[in-house]
Amino acid sequence: MEILENKYGFDYLDYNTTLHRELNYKREQFNNPDDIVKWKEQGYTHTHFTGEMYDMKNAIPEWFDFAAIQKHFDNWTDLTWSFYKMTTGVILPEHIDTFKYYKTLYQNTKGKLGRIVIFLENWQPGHYFDISGESVGAWTAGDYAWFTENTPHTAANIGKMDRYTLQLTGFMNENTQ
């Protein structure tokens, strides 16, 4: 695993299904209006700055073994999950996650708050992701990146195929690398 400035890293988790495509995804408004104002000033003209989500506000899919995910990430606590779908043309410019909903569920007393982004399908042309200005590409299903709170990142789909990820949010303990 590559570790860069102890802010983010990359690794692999065995993931081999396409059932996530069948979930009833819903688009929610981006939760930081200041970022939207900034992006529009920068020339972004999109109507939507987010993909579509299927998260813990919904029933857990029968095929989704969240217990196995939690076991794999045993150096994280209070994990929540959200399946995320970016359709063609969705661009989420550089931003820092606010974790607003997560912070209503859990208090930051257990370590560093962070996110894990698991790529559910192989990279396709036009799929884009970067962390702190470092581009991530040519991923395979199961590759994942993690980063701490306050780490800027960008995601986009200017390709022809939908881009699917599973986003986990939680507290990483001091041994997370």
Q: Are 51 and 85 in contact (CB under 8 A)?
A: yes
Two tokens at 172? Answer: 């990483």
Average pLDDT over residues 140-159: 91
Domain segments of the chain as ranges: 3-172
Q: 91-110, pLDDT tens digit by residue?
A: 999 999 988 889 888 876 66
Average pLDDT rounded to a whole number, residues 7-29 = 79
In the block, residue with structure tokens 């970067």? 130
Q: What is the pTM of this model?
A: 0.89
Domain 3-172 annotated CATH 3.30.70.1380: no
- Is residue 31 predicted with pLDDT exceeding 80? yes
